[in-house]
Amino acid sequence: MQDFTAISNLRVLAIPRLAAAGRWRVEAMRSLSEPCLLWFTKGQGRITVQGTTRGYTAHNVVFIPPGVMHGFDAGPSVFGTAVFFGRNSTLPLPAQPQHLRIRESHAQHEINTLLDSITREMNSDIPAHDRATSHYVGLLGVWLERQINRAEPETLHHDAPRRLAARYATLLEREFRSGLGVADFAAKLNVTPTHLSRCCKQACGKPASVLLQDRRIFEAQRLLAETKIPVGHIAASLGFASPAYFTRAFHHLTGKSPTAFRRAA
Protein backbone atom coordinates (compact mmCIF):
# COMPACT_ATOMS: atom_id res chain seq x y z
CA MET A 1 0.00 0.00 0.00
CA GLN A 2 1.28 3.47 -0.88
CA ASP A 3 2.57 5.44 2.13
CA PHE A 4 1.47 9.07 1.95
CA THR A 5 3.01 10.12 5.26
CA ALA A 6 5.48 12.31 3.38
CA ILE A 7 2.67 14.55 2.11
CA SER A 8 -0.01 14.27 4.80
CA ASN A 9 0.58 17.83 6.07
CA LEU A 10 2.43 19.27 3.08
CA ARG A 11 1.86 22.94 2.33
CA VAL A 12 3.24 25.02 -0.55
CA LEU A 13 2.80 28.78 -0.21
CA ALA A 14 4.01 31.88 -2.01
CA ILE A 15 6.42 33.82 0.19
CA PRO A 16 4.47 37.11 -0.26
CA ARG A 17 1.42 35.27 1.09
CA LEU A 18 3.35 34.38 4.24
CA ALA A 19 4.27 38.02 4.77
CA ALA A 20 0.71 39.16 4.01
CA ALA A 21 -0.47 37.18 7.04
CA GLY A 22 1.74 39.42 9.17
CA ARG A 23 5.39 40.19 8.53
CA TRP A 24 6.09 39.23 12.13
CA ARG A 25 5.38 35.65 11.06
CA VAL A 26 8.50 35.59 8.87
CA GLU A 27 10.76 38.31 10.26
CA ALA A 28 10.73 37.55 13.99
CA MET A 29 12.95 34.85 15.42
CA ARG A 30 11.03 31.59 15.70
CA SER A 31 11.28 27.88 14.95
CA LEU A 32 8.95 25.41 13.33
CA SER A 33 8.08 21.85 14.29
CA GLU A 34 8.46 20.76 10.66
CA PRO A 35 11.12 21.02 7.93
CA CYS A 36 10.87 24.04 5.66
CA LEU A 37 12.38 24.90 2.27
CA LEU A 38 12.50 28.48 1.00
CA TRP A 39 13.11 29.09 -2.72
CA PHE A 40 13.69 32.76 -3.52
CA THR A 41 13.11 33.73 -7.15
CA LYS A 42 13.17 37.53 -6.97
CA GLY A 43 14.43 40.24 -4.64
CA GLN A 44 16.98 40.16 -1.89
CA GLY A 45 17.22 40.44 1.86
CA ARG A 46 18.81 38.96 4.92
CA ILE A 47 18.04 35.69 6.62
CA THR A 48 19.10 34.57 10.09
CA VAL A 49 19.39 30.84 10.72
CA GLN A 50 20.66 29.36 13.98
CA GLY A 51 22.19 32.65 15.12
CA THR A 52 23.97 33.59 11.87
CA THR A 53 22.78 36.23 9.40
CA ARG A 54 23.67 36.32 5.70
CA GLY A 55 22.22 37.84 2.57
CA TYR A 56 20.01 36.04 0.09
CA THR A 57 19.16 36.90 -3.51
CA ALA A 58 17.19 35.39 -6.36
CA HIS A 59 17.88 31.70 -7.03
CA ASN A 60 18.81 30.96 -3.43
CA VAL A 61 17.37 27.94 -1.64
CA VAL A 62 17.39 27.74 2.15
CA PHE A 63 16.50 24.54 3.98
CA ILE A 64 15.62 24.78 7.68
CA PRO A 65 15.22 21.60 9.77
CA PRO A 66 12.58 21.49 12.52
CA GLY A 67 13.47 23.20 15.79
CA VAL A 68 16.00 25.62 14.24
CA MET A 69 15.50 29.28 15.12
CA HIS A 70 15.30 31.56 12.09
CA GLY A 71 13.76 34.67 10.58
CA PHE A 72 14.11 36.56 7.29
CA ASP A 73 13.34 39.88 5.62
CA ALA A 74 10.29 39.66 3.37
CA GLY A 75 9.93 43.03 1.69
CA PRO A 76 7.47 43.78 -1.14
CA SER A 77 10.07 42.97 -3.82
CA VAL A 78 10.73 39.44 -2.52
CA PHE A 79 9.08 36.57 -4.34
CA GLY A 80 9.44 32.81 -4.12
CA THR A 81 7.94 29.67 -2.65
CA ALA A 82 7.91 28.14 0.82
CA VAL A 83 7.44 24.40 1.24
CA PHE A 84 6.39 23.10 4.64
CA PHE A 85 6.82 19.33 4.78
CA GLY A 86 4.65 18.63 7.84
CA ARG A 87 5.51 17.37 11.32
CA ASN A 88 5.23 13.71 10.41
CA SER A 89 7.08 13.75 7.12
CA THR A 90 9.06 10.59 6.41
CA LEU A 91 10.98 12.19 3.54
CA PRO A 92 14.78 11.93 3.85
CA LEU A 93 15.90 15.53 4.35
CA PRO A 94 19.11 17.20 5.59
CA ALA A 95 19.71 17.26 9.33
CA GLN A 96 21.52 20.63 9.19
CA PRO A 97 20.48 24.03 7.80
CA GLN A 98 21.53 24.66 4.21
CA HIS A 99 21.90 27.85 2.16
CA LEU A 100 22.65 27.24 -1.51
CA ARG A 101 23.05 29.63 -4.41
CA ILE A 102 21.65 27.85 -7.47
CA ARG A 103 23.63 29.32 -10.35
CA GLU A 104 22.97 26.74 -13.08
CA SER A 105 19.89 27.57 -15.15
CA HIS A 106 18.87 23.93 -15.63
CA ALA A 107 18.86 23.41 -11.83
CA GLN A 108 16.69 26.53 -11.42
CA HIS A 109 14.33 25.16 -14.07
CA GLU A 110 14.18 21.78 -12.30
CA ILE A 111 13.04 23.15 -8.97
CA ASN A 112 10.54 25.51 -10.59
CA THR A 113 9.07 22.59 -12.55
CA LEU A 114 8.93 20.38 -9.45
CA LEU A 115 7.18 23.05 -7.37
CA ASP A 116 4.67 23.71 -10.16
CA SER A 117 3.98 19.97 -10.48
CA ILE A 118 3.53 19.55 -6.72
CA THR A 119 1.10 22.47 -6.55
CA ARG A 120 -0.86 21.25 -9.58
CA GLU A 121 -1.25 17.73 -8.21
CA MET A 122 -2.13 18.94 -4.70
CA ASN A 123 -4.94 21.05 -6.11
CA SER A 124 -6.19 18.34 -8.45
CA ASP A 125 -8.98 15.82 -7.94
CA ILE A 126 -7.98 13.52 -10.78
CA PRO A 127 -7.22 9.87 -9.95
CA ALA A 128 -3.86 9.19 -8.25
CA HIS A 129 -3.12 12.88 -7.64
CA ASP A 130 -2.00 12.09 -4.09
CA ARG A 131 0.42 9.44 -5.34
CA ALA A 132 1.76 11.84 -7.97
CA THR A 133 2.22 14.51 -5.30
CA SER A 134 4.15 12.07 -3.13
CA HIS A 135 6.49 11.20 -5.98
CA TYR A 136 7.12 14.83 -6.91
CA VAL A 137 7.87 15.69 -3.27
CA GLY A 138 10.32 12.79 -3.21
CA LEU A 139 12.01 14.19 -6.33
CA LEU A 140 12.25 17.58 -4.60
CA GLY A 141 14.15 15.89 -1.79
CA VAL A 142 16.44 14.25 -4.35
CA TRP A 143 16.99 17.61 -6.07
CA LEU A 144 17.99 19.19 -2.76
CA GLU A 145 20.37 16.35 -1.90
CA ARG A 146 22.06 16.59 -5.29
CA GLN A 147 22.47 20.35 -5.04
CA ILE A 148 24.07 19.99 -1.62
CA ASN A 149 26.50 17.40 -3.01
CA ARG A 150 27.20 19.42 -6.14
CA ALA A 151 27.80 22.84 -4.62
CA GLU A 152 29.45 23.92 -1.40
CA PRO A 153 26.59 24.94 0.88
CA GLU A 154 26.77 28.21 2.74
CA THR A 155 26.25 26.63 6.12
CA LEU A 156 27.53 28.14 9.33
CA HIS A 157 31.14 29.23 9.16
CA HIS A 158 33.24 27.45 11.75
CA ASP A 159 34.60 30.43 13.62
CA ALA A 160 34.22 30.81 17.37
CA PRO A 161 31.62 33.66 17.45
CA ARG A 162 29.33 31.87 14.99
CA ARG A 163 29.67 28.60 16.84
CA LEU A 164 28.73 30.29 20.11
CA ALA A 165 25.79 32.11 18.50
CA ALA A 166 24.56 28.78 17.10
CA ARG A 167 24.84 27.14 20.53
CA TYR A 168 22.95 30.05 22.08
CA ALA A 169 20.22 29.86 19.43
CA THR A 170 19.80 26.13 20.08
CA LEU A 171 19.66 26.61 23.86
CA LEU A 172 17.35 29.59 23.50
CA GLU A 173 14.91 27.63 21.38
CA ARG A 174 14.78 24.95 24.06
CA GLU A 175 14.41 27.25 27.08
CA PHE A 176 13.01 30.62 25.99
CA ARG A 177 9.84 29.98 28.04
CA SER A 178 11.82 29.50 31.26
CA GLY A 179 12.11 33.14 32.29
CA LEU A 180 15.91 32.92 32.23
CA GLY A 181 17.85 36.05 31.30
CA VAL A 182 20.92 36.49 29.13
CA ALA A 183 23.21 36.08 32.15
CA ASP A 184 21.60 32.71 32.91
CA PHE A 185 22.03 31.52 29.32
CA ALA A 186 25.63 32.76 29.29
CA ALA A 187 26.35 30.79 32.46
CA LYS A 188 24.93 27.65 30.87
CA LEU A 189 27.26 28.23 27.92
CA ASN A 190 30.25 28.92 30.22
CA VAL A 191 30.85 32.44 28.89
CA THR A 192 30.22 35.94 30.19
CA PRO A 193 27.06 37.81 29.16
CA THR A 194 29.22 40.48 27.49
CA HIS A 195 31.07 37.91 25.40
CA LEU A 196 27.83 36.17 24.43
CA SER A 197 26.21 39.41 23.29
CA ARG A 198 29.33 40.46 21.39
CA CYS A 199 29.42 37.14 19.50
CA CYS A 200 25.70 37.29 18.69
CA LYS A 201 26.11 40.85 17.45
CA GLN A 202 28.98 39.74 15.22
CA ALA A 203 27.14 36.68 13.90
CA CYS A 204 23.70 38.12 13.24
CA GLY A 205 23.73 41.83 14.00
CA LYS A 206 21.66 41.52 17.19
CA PRO A 207 22.78 41.22 20.81
CA ALA A 208 21.75 38.19 22.83
CA SER A 209 19.06 40.13 24.71
CA VAL A 210 17.28 41.12 21.49
CA LEU A 211 17.29 37.55 20.20
CA LEU A 212 15.78 36.38 23.49
CA GLN A 213 13.07 39.02 23.57
CA ASP A 214 12.34 38.62 19.87
CA ARG A 215 11.76 34.89 20.30
CA ARG A 216 9.50 35.34 23.33
CA ILE A 217 7.43 38.07 21.69
CA PHE A 218 7.01 36.04 18.49
CA GLU A 219 5.59 33.18 20.54
CA ALA A 220 3.30 35.64 22.30
CA GLN A 221 2.09 36.97 18.94
CA ARG A 222 1.43 33.46 17.70
CA LEU A 223 -0.56 32.54 20.81
CA LEU A 224 -2.53 35.79 20.69
CA ALA A 225 -3.35 35.33 17.00
CA GLU A 226 -4.10 31.61 17.02
CA THR A 227 -5.57 30.85 20.46
CA LYS A 228 -7.94 32.28 23.06
CA ILE A 229 -5.53 31.81 25.97
CA PRO A 230 -5.87 34.79 28.35
CA VAL A 231 -3.12 37.40 28.17
CA GLY A 232 -2.05 36.78 31.76
CA HIS A 233 -1.65 33.06 31.10
CA ILE A 234 0.44 33.77 27.99
CA ALA A 235 2.68 36.07 30.01
CA ALA A 236 3.21 33.41 32.68
CA SER A 237 3.84 30.64 30.13
CA LEU A 238 6.64 32.70 28.55
CA GLY A 239 8.39 33.45 31.83
CA PHE A 240 7.44 37.13 32.22
CA ALA A 241 7.48 38.33 35.81
CA SER A 242 4.01 39.86 35.56
CA PRO A 243 1.29 40.61 33.00
CA ALA A 244 2.15 44.31 33.29
CA TYR A 245 5.80 43.71 32.41
CA PHE A 246 4.72 41.48 29.51
CA THR A 247 2.40 44.20 28.20
CA ARG A 248 5.17 46.82 28.34
CA ALA A 249 7.65 44.53 26.57
CA PHE A 250 5.09 43.53 23.95
CA HIS A 251 4.11 47.15 23.24
CA HIS A 252 7.75 48.19 23.02
CA LEU A 253 8.47 45.67 20.26
CA THR A 254 5.18 45.68 18.35
CA GLY A 255 3.68 49.12 18.97
CA LYS A 256 0.45 47.51 20.21
CA SER A 257 -0.86 46.12 23.45
CA PRO A 258 -1.46 42.35 23.52
CA THR A 259 -5.21 42.94 23.49
CA ALA A 260 -5.06 45.32 20.52
CA PHE A 261 -2.81 42.89 18.64
CA ARG A 262 -5.28 40.06 19.24
CA ARG A 263 -8.18 42.14 17.97
CA ALA A 264 -6.27 43.09 14.81
CA ALA A 265 -5.15 39.51 14.19
Query: Are 257 and 250 a contacting pair, CB within 8 Å?
Result: yes
Whether 155 has a pLDDT exceeding 80, the answer reads: no
Report pLDDT for 20. 84
Distance of alpha carbon 42 from alpha carbon 191, whole angstroms: 40
At 39 the pLDDT is 98
Is the per-residue pLDDT at 214 higher than 70?
yes
pLDDT tens by residue, 36-45: 999 999 999 9
Residue 151 confidence (pLDDT): 75
pLDDT at 1: 42
Instruction: State the pLDDT at residue 156.
Output: 43
H or E stretch at 79? strand 79-84
Q: How confident is the model at residue 3 (pLDDT cuts 50, 70, 90)?
A: low
**Mean pLDDT score, 125-152:** 93
Mean pLDDT of the chain: 92
Structure confidence by residue, pLDDT tens digits, 63-80: 999 999 999 998 889 999
Residues above pLDDT 70, as percent of the chain: 95
For residue 176, the model assigns a pLDDT of: 96
Give the tens place of pLDDT for each residue, 84-95. 999 988 899 999
pLDDT digits (tens, 9 = 90+) for 182-197: 999 999 999 999 999 9
CATH tag for 160-264 (out of 3.20.20.30, 3.40.50.300, 1.10.260.40, 1.10.10.60): 1.10.10.60
What residues form DSSP beta bridges with 38?
62, 82
* Rounded (10°) angle between helices 208-226 and 193-204: 70
Query: How many percent of the chain have pLDDT more than 90?
Result: 85
Residue 231 CB contacts under 8 Å (≥ 6 apart), including other chains: 224, 243, 246, 247, 258, 259, 262
* Mean pLDDT on 233-256: 95
CATH number of 5-150: 2.60.120.280
Q: Give the domain ranges of the chain.
A: 5-150, 160-264
How far apart CA 250 and CA 71 sit, in angstroms, is 18
Average pLDDT of the segment spanning 197-202: 96
Q: Is the pLDDT score of 166 beyond 70?
A: yes
Whole-angstrom distance, CA of residue 182 vs CA of residue 195: 11
Task: Tell me what the mean pLDDT of segment 45-60 comes to.
Answer: 95
